[in-house]
Each structure stands twice: as structure tokens, then as C-alpha cells.
Structure 1
């Protein structure tokens, strides 16, 4: 099968969209499919031997390091040359629309993966565009052949926009990488001096993640806050949290060791369509505290595989962390149940589902209509 992936973000950007596309490409290539990636530039012209067509882009207002793809004839030209059987639209917003138009012109079926709550993102940055964005997103997804959503909350959100052909497609985990065996006593000792518990956040340091909520955790007695990641709000957050450990962005083995060396993982944002970091923490054997909103509602069974807090009440977040700090047994039980719950969520299986169930369904629909 020849698959063209038109994505709103790709390497060198590190975020949920880029990481998901990277794993999809890896698994497709391993299964002997031919792949083309079309992405906003600048960046490498290939990834692991797969060509990456770079198109014109502009930095997003307020977040200049994040490129937004612009209408570019290179999208249509690249699809013409590649001759795909199917076009995969990864988190389509701007460049995805161009990819959709090119696919429709060529009569090629499309699968769109909804992954970013752009309207929620706009609200966090004070942009009064959420209604316009929702109309745009709804119209786009109503025109594709099939939309895949990562969570029940996302499915409900798009259904309210009039999108009908919606299917749950979740994310995989690199279970060889994220594992409790990666825990480092040395790293934990370096963070905490052996006298405190390490409570950590992993992710992009940006305001849409509601990272300011970490302040209610940082001053809990016996806590050493650890912030793993980077982003446009890092300097501001460092001023607000002078006692926290900031590791910067970590990858690979370093990231896996950091996850597993935490005593509690906390996620603060309530606009997550999925929340991959929750899964990675669970796989790493770390008890999770996450907001009772969006993607985490599907990932955390409250009281069994983690704790959910009320995102409208910061006392709820603080109380959840305090409960875990006071109960080593509860921390152990939540971590063990969560690890068991995610033990089968491999990227190989998730991408196999993408191909066998979703790609083949739209290809069969196109053939039947011909």
C-alpha cells in the first residue's frame, strides 16, 4: 500500500502529533508499505529513508517556534508524483485542508486523525476564535472519508459539530522503553536528596497545558517538584517555581529513566484529546494524577489505575497529590493496576488496527463506489 501522510507537525518538532506520525511511519515501513510525508518546514528532507516534502510555513502567533503550513502547490505536486492509494491527514487544520483538496482532486480516499483541540488552544491564548475554529474543524472532518478520534471526549466533541463517521483509534506505547525497570536511584537521590518524594510533570511547557497549576503542588510538604520538558513558558514557570527541578527536554533512555524515577506523575491540562504522557507514566510504573476531562477520562479509572481531579478546583489537585504522598500502599496499587492496563498497547498493534480496519475500510468504500 502507498500511503501519503499530510501532517500539521513533524520532526524536528516534538509534540503529540509529530510523535504519533513518527510511530505510524516506522510501523508502516516495517510492514513493507511505501510512505510519503508532507509537513511544514523547515526540517529534514527524509526520515529513516522515507521522503519528507517540506512546504511553506509561518510561525504561530505567540508560539513562533511552532510552524503552521501554508497553502503550497508542492502538496498537490508531491501527491501526483507519489501516486498514493490513500491520504492520511494527521491532525488536519491548515495544511490538512490542502491535502484534502489534493486527495479529492485525485479521487484518493482520506483518513483524518483528530488529535488537537485547536479551539481550546485558542481560548488559552485569549484568542476569540473558538467558534470559528470549531466550524472550520467540523466542516473539514465532515468532508473526509473517515475520522479517527483518540478518546470518548473527542468523539463527543466532533459529533456535536455534525461529524458522523467517527471511530476510536488510540495511541500505542513503546513498552520496551517505558518500564519500571528504568527507575534510577541515583537520579531520584539527585532530585530529592533522599528526603522527599518526586512529583513530576512531563510535557510541553506552554500555557495551553495549564502548567500554572503546578504551583499548588510545589509547596506541599515533602514534595520535590520535577518539570520535564521545554517550551515557550519555561522561563516564566521557572520564576514562579524557583524550588522545582527543570530537566529540559529529554528523549529516549533519559526520558524513560526520568519517568520511572518519579514517585507520582501529574498532568495539569484539561484540553487533551488523548494525553500520551499519562500512558507513558502508567507504563513506567508511576501512579498518575490527571484532570477529570478530555482524554484522561478514558485512560484513568479513578481509584484503580490513577486519580482524577476536578480541573475547576485546584484544591482537588492538591488533595489528590497529598492523598498519594500519605499512602505508599495506594501508590503501589495504582501503579501496578495501571501498568497491567496498558501492557498490551503496542505501536505495532495500534498501527496494525489503523491499516487493517480503517485504511482498508475507506479503500473498500472507494472501490465499491467506482
Structure 2
């Protein structure tokens, strides 16, 4: 098949969507498919990524709230690109305006909406959850729900990477919802990469002895990640057991997070480690991964921790929850620093080493493309 991914939030500067796109570009051709990513950018351009893989940039304005991204502003130009590509299957990988643009395209190809974002959890529930029950918030955001419901009727699939999101969408009347979990990039993550000397150096950077517990936190420094809550929980747990926390991330909330760290020598905020081999060693050398976001659609870093034999401490909602199952970590009540501190204490005291287990990204794409192929066959048979 020729699969075109209309990817509104692809950025060359990094992020989870970029990681996913890069793996799709590598894996799709191996599985016998042609992959074309259509993304907004500063200029019209085509970047070849080898046989059967390329990125087509469509000149578009920068996104005003985050200049690392762009947005499609001319439906006609996007539709012209889709016409020229003549795909067998089309994906929209953002639930916002680009989903409507793909739904409105007049081409014959079947299509899917891939939920790389959970906007209600990331924004509406986070902003108003302490004031109103979710039923009230959903009612206030009924326009977005109707947007999802309307678009879902024009897509053959609405693809979610975790069961919690699929359930909420189905209960909200979103049609054609399916769950296809993602996976980790093969060949990088393993307990074999655990390095006691590296662990000791990271604890030393936190002014902690080797006997302390080394926690790792990884992700964008953005409000929905709830890093201030994680820092509060770690500080509370540290009153009972020695803990060093190493945070790897960058983003617009850096100053806010540094204010919450408040010079605590046992918490270090470092730049992201972009070398995958080095990052795999850091992750495997931690005693646990702690995460704060209840709005993850999959939580790649928690999956990578599981593949590394590292326990996870995650909220009891969203995609991160799946990675704590079967004794692989502890969950806490989402958004609750007291509950998070208790989960951290339990991990710091017991220091479990769960068995390494992870679904590969190749398995994810095999299942995803198989669903697409079945839809294409059904459409052709019906025609």
C-alpha cells in the first residue's frame, strides 16, 4: 500500500511525534509499504528517506503558541498534495483542524485518525478538574466532542494507543474507535545496559551516596507533564528514604520547574540525551522511572523503561498506566502528590527489578497496516 500520513505536528526539532514518524519511515518499507509524510513547514520541499519513504513539506505559517511547529492553513494546497500522491490509505495524526481537512478531502482512499494527543486530558481536565466534575467539563467542551464525533463518522478508524482513551472516546460517542498499542524501537533498550558506575555518577551529581535510590524523569518541560507535582512528591518521599532525582528535558516551563527545585542539590535538571545508546544506558541504570502526566496517549519512555527492566511510578490514568501492569511498577492517584509520594516510597524501599518486556514498534506497525489493508480490501470488494 501507499500510505500518506498528514502529520500536522511533525517537527524536525524533536518530540514524540517525530520519533514515531522516523520509525514509521524505517519500518513501513520493510513491511512492503510506501510511506509519505505530509507535514507543514517553512517551505515546499521533498526529503527522500530511502526507497519507499519520504517527507513532503507544504509551505505553512508557524504555530503562534509554539514556534517549533507549523499548521496547515490552505485546505486547497493540502488537498492538491493528496490528489497528486493518490494514496491507498490516508492518516490524519492530529485531532485538530487537520483531521477535518483530511475528512473533507474528496479522494477515494479510506482513512484513519490516529490519536497522538488526548486534548481533553491534557488541557480541559487539567485546567478545570479541581473545580468541576468531568461530566460538567465534557458538557462545557461539547463543541470539541462534536468535532470528534463528526470527524469519526468520516474515518474508517480512530486509532488509540491505550485502552483508557479508547474507552472514553467510545463512551463519548466517537465512532470506529480501535486500540493498537505502540511499542519501543528495537535494538536499544535492555537490562543488560545497566551500568553501576554510571548510576554512581548520577547519584554523585545529586550529592547522594550509591546506597540512595536513583529516580529518573524524562519528558518535555510542559504544564501537562506535571513536573512540579513530581518534584513535590519526591521531596515528600525523601523525608523517609534518601532519593536522587535526575530529570532530562527541555521546554517552555524550565524556569517554573527550576523554581520548584529551588536549589535542592538532590534534584538535577539536565538537557535531554539525544544519543539513543547513551540514553538506554542511563535508563537501565536508574532504580525507577517517575512520570506525572495522566494525558499520555502511550508514554513511550515508560515502555522503554519496561523494556529496560526498570520499574515505573505512573498515574492511574492515561497511557502510562498500561506500563505498570503485572508487577512492573506502582500507580498513584493521578494529580495527587501525596499518593505519588507513597508510591515513590514503596519503590525506594523495595527496589524491585521487574522482568523486561516490551512490544516492539515493528509489531505496532504490523498490526496497524494490517488493519488498513483489510479496510482497503473491503472497500475494493464493495466497489
| Aligned with residue 215 of structure 1, among 226, 231, 234 | 231
Cα distance in 2 for partners of 1:85, 1:142 equals 19
Cα distance in 2 for partners of 1:307, 1:289 equals 5
Contact 1:2–1:84 under 8 Å retained in 2: yes
Cα distance in 2 for partners of 1:175, 1:266 equals 23
SS in 1 for 2:214: strand
Q: CA deviation at 1:200?
A: 1.2
Task: Report the equivalent of 1:270.
Answer: 294
| Aligned with residue 367 of structure 2, among 333, 344, 353 | 353
Task: Report the equivalent of 2:257.
Answer: 237
| Aligned with residue 202 of structure 1, among 214, 218, 221 | 218
SS in 2 for 1:298: helix
Contact 1:2–1:86 under 8 Å retained in 2: yes
Contact 1:213–1:268 under 8 Å retained in 2: yes
Task: Report the equivalent of 2:344.
Answer: 321
TM-score by length of 1: 0.89
Task: Report the equivalent of 1:259.
Answer: 283
Task: Report the equivalent of 1:123.
Answer: 124
Number of equivalenced pairs:
356
Contact 1:7–1:92 under 8 Å retained in 2: no
Cα distance in 1 for partners of 2:142, 2:226 equals 21
Task: Report the equivalent of 1:148.
Answer: 159
1:58 maps onto 2:65 in alignment: no
Task: Report the equivalent of 1:305.
Answer: 328
1:165 maps onto 2:176 in alignment: yes
Unmatched 5+ stretches in structure 2: 129-136
Contact 2:6–2:92 under 8 Å retained in 1: yes
- Cα 1:51–1:74, aligned 2, differ >3 Å: closer, same or farther? farther
Task: Report the equivalent of 1:83.
Answer: 86
| Aligned with residue 149 of structure 2, among 91, 115, 138 | 138
- Cα 1:130–1:280, aligned 2, differ >3 Å: closer, same or farther? farther
Give a deviation string over 1:209-234, Cα, whole Å, max 9, x none.
11111222442141111111211112
- Cα 1:47–1:264, aligned 2, differ >3 Å: closer, same or farther? farther
Contact 2:62–2:68 under 8 Å retained in 1: no
Q: CA deviation at 1:306?
A: 1.2
Contact 2:47–2:54 under 8 Å retained in 1: yes
SS in 2 for 1:199: strand
- Cα 1:280–1:142, aligned 2, differ >3 Å: closer, same or farther? same
Q: CA deviation at 1:287?
A: 0.9
Q: CA deviation at 1:147?
A: 1.6
- Cα 1:66–1:324, aligned 2, differ >3 Å: closer, same or farther? same
Cα distance in 2 for partners of 1:143, 1:176 equals 38
RMSD: 2.3
More displaced stretch, 183-192 vs 199-208: 183-192
Task: Report the equivalent of 1:100.
Answer: 103
- Cα 1:156–1:54, aligned 2, differ >3 Å: closer, same or farther? same
Task: Report the equivalent of 1:362.
Answer: 375
Contact 1:202–1:277 under 8 Å retained in 2: yes
- Cα 1:125–1:45, aligned 2, differ >3 Å: closer, same or farther? farther
More displaced stretch, 293-302 vs 144-153: 293-302
Cα distance in 1 for partners of 2:286, 2:35 equals 37
Q: CA deviation at 1:125?
A: 7.6
- Cα 1:277–1:42, aligned 2, differ >3 Å: closer, same or farther? farther
TM-score by length of 2: 0.86
- Cα 1:149–1:281, aligned 2, differ >3 Å: closer, same or farther? same
- Cα 1:305–1:126, aligned 2, differ >3 Å: closer, same or farther? closer
Unmatched 5+ stretches in structure 1: none
